């Protein structure tokens, strides 16, 4: 992961990411504080898991409804 990608991702969601250290001069370098990346990544993983669980539940419901409709159409 490079710092410029992290900066672009943070900007795309409209947030400030404190693990990113952008250069203050044109000759400066980007850097990342990887220890400050851990908690945001864990939280993002938790959010994605919750969303994934919800989508799986919705998919299971839709599959069951589809099976019921197919069964009714076969009669």
Per-domain boundaries in the chain: 1-36, 37-75
* Chain centroid, CA 17 distance in Å: 15
Give the whole-angstrom CA distance, residue 53 versus residue 57: 6
Tell if the pTM clears 0.75, that is, is over it: no
Confidence check: pLDDT of 1 > 70:
no
Distances (CA, A) of 24 to 27, 29, 36, 54, 67: 8, 8, 20, 43, 60
Residue 30 in contact with residue 23, Cβ under 8 Å? yes
Mean pLDDT of the chain: 92
pLDDT for 37 beyond 90: no
Report residue 17's pLDDT band, with 50, 70 and 90 as the boundaries: confident
pLDDT at 75: 83
Over pLDDT 90: what percentage of the chain? 52
């Amino acid at each position: 992961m490079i710092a410029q990608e992290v900066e672009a991702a943070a900007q795309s969601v409209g947030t400030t990411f404190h693990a990113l250290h952008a250069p203050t001069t044109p000759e400066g370098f980007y850097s990342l504080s990887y220890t400050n990346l851990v908690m945001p990544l864990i939280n993002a993983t938790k959010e994605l898991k919750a969303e994934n669980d919800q989508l799986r539940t919705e998919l299971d419901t839709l599959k069951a409804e589809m099976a019921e409709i197919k069964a009714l159409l076969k009669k």
